[in-house]
Amino acid sequence: MSDVWDIMGGMGSPHQSPSSTPASNQQGDVQRQKMKKMKPEGMSRELFSIISDDNNDCAPIVHNDFSPVGSLNDGLTQRHEVKLNAMPWFHGKIKREEAESLLQPREDGLFLVRESTNFPGDYTLCVCFNNKVEHYRVIFKDNKVTIDEEEYFDKLSELVEHYHKDADGLCTRLRMSVPKRGGLEFSAFEKAGWAMPVEDLDFGEVREVLGRGEFGDVRLAYYRGQKVAVKILKDSCKAAQNFLAEASLMTSLRHPNLVQLMGVVFDGPSICLVTEYMAKGSLVDYLRSRGRLHVNKKDQINFATHTCAGMAYLESKHVVHRDLAARNVLISEDGIAKVCDFGLAREESFSLRGEKFPIKWTAPEALRYNKFSNKSDVWSFGILLWEIYSFGRVPYPRIPLDDVVKHVEKGYKMEAPEGCPSEIYEIMKQSWDLDPDKRPTFALILKKLEHLKTLAV
């Protein structure tokens, strides 16, 4: 059985009887005063349960704590979404000492969750604070989980989300997770129909580099005679979780204004994301290299509308991009703009890894409070509009980077670029409202842009 199943708690693990519960807690485990030290009756450690079988030839229907109801052999005959990163912080059955060795460096709020070794069937939340590791027992009771037996959660993920937002009695709030080693594997992509054999990729003799990133290069290749872009990750276990989380998210997204994933290649220590090839490169480079002589108003409104359409789709799926900018929009051979680079994109929720974000494109509430939403993406879209109509200039051109946030929080808004239509600048200003609730949705912006598109000459 692959580690993808292990990250979900293990398949087919034995039920634990109430009599197997120890009478006392492991020394050093942090306990709230009201925490009971007995194992709940009828506890089951199995996270998968058969809910329909009928003794026929069809695959049984399963349900678990982490994913929707589905068939056990989903994805063996057709492509489907790969769900990998629901609980990357869950390490399964590891000992206390191993957990402490993984929690390095001992930064406040660094955490993981493991199965309890002292209370079989329960879990342990391990959190760094003041250069030590505190261990909290997570009780499984009446099909819910709790730490203090006052607040109960349906899922471990909901408990983690709660304590990420507020310490609520813990030594500190949860800030960053330690992802499970080997938790994302080739088998999950293979079963879902997204795995590609490396032999099908031809990089040619030149091995043309299309771009360079923090964890590797993007190269031009041919897949069965078709040009593709190959994003290559080499020898980085830490980055692999993020890299494949990006791929897993892309398997669920299909829209003409999003760069499409074609497959994933595992080649020894290297992992490759294969996407459609966008011949004209990034939007920001396109604007800068061609300028006013070659980019007309129709091109500008097209780029804006295409990008907004892709973002409206993400909005409808409750996915937050978190890094929207002209550098992360690519242009196809026929001039279609498509949003790319989903390395920071997440289902609308919260961030557990303390990523760094580009200050000039990120909404103030996201920079200040780590509050990301589709409305913070709208803020970034306003900046992207400014990039389009300034032909790729860097935003806030006359303000030092260290002063940008201070100016923005005081209500400063950039002036309209030269020649920018007043209707477009109005969308920018609405997108830069300090109150996220007052910003328009992408769906509303798209309607406005489509109307303006009919007027463009």
Binding-site entries for ATP: 231
Helix H segments across 140-277? Answer: 156-165, 186-191, 237-250
Taking the C-alpha atoms of residue 48 and residue 77, their distance in angstroms, rounded to an integer, is 22
**What sign does the dihedral 422-339-321-238 (CA atoms) show?**
negative
Do the bridges between strand 61-64 and strand 48-52 make them parallel or antiparallel, or are there none, so unpaired? antiparallel
> Which amino acid belongs to residue 46?
E
3-state helix, strand, coil in the chain (%, to 5): 30, 20, 50
Q: Which residues of 302-318 are buried (b: 16+ CB within 10 A; e: fewer)?
A: bbbbbbbbbbbbbbeee
Side-chain half-sphere exposure of 223, counting CA atoms within 13 A:
20
With H, G, I as helix, E, B as strand and everything else as coil, classify residue 144: strand
Known binding positions:
231
> Which amino acid belongs to residue 268?
G
Taking the C-alpha atoms of residue 10 and residue 257, their distance in angstroms, rounded to an integer, is 38
Taking the C-alpha atoms of residue 288 and residue 391, their distance in angstroms, rounded to an integer, is 6
With a CB cutoff of 8 Å and minimum separation 6, the contacts of 372 are: 320, 322, 346, 348, 350, 351, 363, 366
> What's the DSSP call for residue 195?
B
435 is catalytic: no
Which of these is catalytic: 299, 323, 341, 433? 323
Residue from 238, 230, 239, 220 nearest 267 by CA: 230
Taking the C-alpha atoms of residue 244 and residue 119, their distance in angstroms, rounded to an integer, is 33
With a CB cutoff of 8 Å and minimum separation 6, the contacts of 436 are: 363, 365, 371, 373, 375, 376, 378, 379
Taking the C-alpha atoms of residue 417 and residue 49, their distance in angstroms, rounded to an integer, is 59
**What sign does the dihedral 199-200-205-208 (CA atoms) show?**
negative
Q: How many CB atoms lie within 10 A of CB 275?
A: 21
Indicate which residues carry an active-site annotation.
323
